[in-house]
């Protein structure tokens, strides 16, 4: 199943966001893959600082792994450059697919 959602990057944080994801923690990558997350991409609309994420999931989505310690650490690490909830999880909104072409 394909899942898409959006998040909000703080203005001027594009380079830092990309740097942190270029250096994503191996333990976090392993957790995502172990839980069936694959083909995960995040795009940035530079006019609005909106992040658009899409991922394939065969189990849990990345959005369902918040009780895991490494995810909580990642959220805290990213909180200074993203709009977040009080627990540091990214403020995210699911998106509805309205068209798909294979």
Task: Given the residues 11, 21, 88, 100, select the one marked as catalytic.
Answer: 21
Q: How far apart are alpha carbons 52 and 42 in whole angstroms?
A: 6
**Nearest partner of 95 among 65, 54, 60, 50, judged by Cα:** 54
Q: How far apart are alpha carbons 58 and 61 in whole angstroms?
A: 8
11 labelled catalytic: no
Helix (H) and strand (E) counts in the chain: 3, 4
Look-up: residue for tokens 């977040």? 84
User: Catalytic residue positions?
Assistant: 21
């Amino acid at each position: 199943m394909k899942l898409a959602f959006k998040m909000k990057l703080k203005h001027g944080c594009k380079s830092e966001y990309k740097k942190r994801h270029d250096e994503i923690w191996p333990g976090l990558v392993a957790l995502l893959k172990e839980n069936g997350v694959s083909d995960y991409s995040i795009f940035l609309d530079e006019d609005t600082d909106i992040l658009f994420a899409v991922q394939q999931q065969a189990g849990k989505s990345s959005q369902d792994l918040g009780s895991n310690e490494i995810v909580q650490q990642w959220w805290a690490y990213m909180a200074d450059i993203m709009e977040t909830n009080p627990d540091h999880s990214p403020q995210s909104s699911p998106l509805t697919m309205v068209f798909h072409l294979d």
